[in-house]
Amino acid sequence: MKILEVKTGRPYEILIEGGLLTEVPEDLKRLNLGYRYALISDSQVADLLAEDLLRLLREAGLSAELFVFPAGEASKNMDTIVNLARQMLQKGFDRKCAIIALGGGVTGDLAGFLASIYLRGVPYVQIPTSLLAQVDSSVGGKTGVDLPEGKNLLGTFYQPWRVYIDYGVLSTLPFEHLKNGLAEVVKYGCISSPNLFEYLEERSQKLLNYDAESLEHIIYESCRLKAEVVSRDEKEGGLRRILNFGHTLGHAIEAAANYEILHGFCVSIGMVAAAILSERLGVAEEEISLRLIKLLEDLGLPTRIPQDLDTDEILSFLRADKKVWKGKLTFILLKRLGEPVFYEEPPQQILKEIVEALKTQKATS
């Protein structure tokens, strides 16, 4: 088993191993987070994995109940939080309970948010089951929900007590969601590891074939890189903003598309825009965008903005970004691969030209 530590105010471990799910109940007993567990999953993961985990928990003598919400980004809102909270209250879950998030990033963000506010806070653990959740969202304690006004606009920083990553569960993950997770791994390559970027270039076909060894490597490396950043800047006082590379425009596209395009796909397009912007503004000291586009295309990820999205609407969503500080929008750009820089208020005209240019060809995926 591989173990990483996240050195936040209350440190915690990320455990990574194929088949780890079966070991969760015994480890939870050692952690002793609560006398009763609320297992939260979406409708798809509930059918595939949650019933089995529930049985394992009960066989280990733990008291646990399953709470399910409809799968998909459309559920990442306050209505789902209130519904889950009310169901838990009706079942008598009190302050000494704990929450288990079993699922993708939507489940993790929702269950983590609920854990941070339920009866003013109860412990929770993350069991990520999508690639995106295993390489990114289960680590770092960002929780929250979307609003029509923008992505993740209500939320908390609330670190999990443990992250259990069983990459064996990825065998049932739909192909589109495999690619979706790979986008966040490309992000880690861009912001902090040219080696990881090269690895993705070399292994793209193996990764798209769900090769377990390659998946384990990129999961471990992404979590290691994220844990390092979060350990230095838990609440995004500065440095942590690099984890938002590609997200400034990515989130705006996601919101403009009414959350109907996958998060990783939007980040993929956003990374292309950020690379082109880095070059247009003279920030980039090496040519990045063509190499990035090639890698994203090899991984089956989109690099173009869908033509039906309105340019002005996309640009207006940029203003709802959490990287607007004191009225100034900050982009994460690249000097070269592995060297991100912050850039305040790029000219609106250049942003508009890049958005328009990225709409002129058909999306590749």
Ligand X SMILES: NC(=O)c1ccc[n+]([C@@H]2O[C@H](COP(=O)([O-])OP(=O)(O)OC[C@H]3O[C@@H](n4cnc5c(N)ncnc54)[C@H](O)[C@@H]3O)[C@@H](O)[C@H]2O)c1
Ligand Y SMILES: O=C(O)C(=O)C[C@@H](O)[C@H](O)[C@H](O)COP(=O)(O)O
Catalytic residue at 263?
Answer: yes
Report the amino acid identity of residue 220: Y
> Taking CB within 5 to 8 Å according to partner kind, which of ligand Y, ligand X, none is near residue 72?
ligand X
User: What ranges in the chain are assigned the alpha helix state H?
Assistant: 24-31, 43-45, 51-59, 78-90, 105-117, 131-132, 175-192, 194-208, 212-232, 247-256, 263-280, 289-298, 311-317, 348-359
Catalytic residue at 336?
Answer: no
Catalytic residue at 120?
Answer: yes
**Separation CA 58–CA 237 (nearest Å):** 41
Nearer to ligand X, 110 or 334 (CB): 110
Structure tokens at 234: 């838990």
8 Å CB contact between 56 and 66: no
Pick out the residues of the known binding site for NAD(+).
105-109, 129-130, 142, 151
Nearer to ligand X, 229 or 305 (CB): 229
Structure tokens at 246: 């590609």
Structure tokens at 60: 């280990």
Binding window for ligand Y (CB under 6 A); candidates: 82-90, 136-144, 269-277, 308-316: 136-144
Catalytic residue at 297?
Answer: no
**Separation CA 269–CA 41 (nearest Å):** 29
Closest residue to ligand Y in the complex (CB): 152
Give least dist CB 60 to ligand Y, A. 31
Backbone torsions φ then ψ of 305, nearest 5 degrees: -85, 130
Of the residues 263, 304, 322, 323, only one is catalytic, namely 263
> Taking CB within 5 to 8 Å according to partner kind, which of ligand Y, ligand X, none is near residue 247?
ligand Y
Q: Which of 76, 177, 224, 247 touches ligand Y by CB under 6 A?
A: 247
| Residues lying near ligand X in the complex (CB under 6 A) | 42, 44-45, 48, 71-73, 76, 103-107, 109, 129-130, 132-133, 136-137, 140, 142, 152, 169-170, 172-173, 177, 180, 263
Catalytic residue at 236?
Answer: yes
DSSP-assigned letters across all residues of 68-122: EE-SSGGG-SHHHHHHHHHHHHHTT--TTEEEEEEESHHHHHHHHHHHHHGGG--
Report the amino acid identity of residue 33: L
Structure tokens at 44: 């798809």
User: Residue with structure tokens 């590379």?
Assistant: 245
Binding window for ligand Y (CB under 6 A); candidates: 64-72, 238-246, 283-291, 350-358: 238-246
Catalytic residue at 241?
Answer: no
Neighbours of 6 (CB within 10 A): 22
Assess 266 for contact with ligand Y (CB under 6 A). no
Catalytic residue at 232?
Answer: no
Q: Which of 136, 166, 221, 254 touches ligand Y by CB under 6 A?
A: 136
Binding-residue pattern over the window 308 to 337 for ligand Y, x denoting contact by CB under 6 A = --------------x---------------
| CB-based burial, 340-356: b 16+ in 10 Å, e otherwise | beebeebeeeebeebbe
Catalytic residue at 217?
Answer: no
Nearer to ligand X, 162 or 263 (CB): 263
> Taking CB within 5 to 8 Å according to partner kind, which of ligand Y, ligand X, none is near residue 244?
ligand Y
Assess 184 for contact with ligand Y (CB under 6 A). yes
Catalytic residue at 77?
Answer: no
Assess 151 for contact with ligand Y (CB under 6 A). yes
* Active site positions, annotated: 120, 142, 184, 226, 236, 240, 244, 247, 251, 263
Question: What residue ranges bind ligand Y (CB under 6 A)?
Answer: 136, 140, 142, 151-152, 184, 240, 243-244, 247, 322
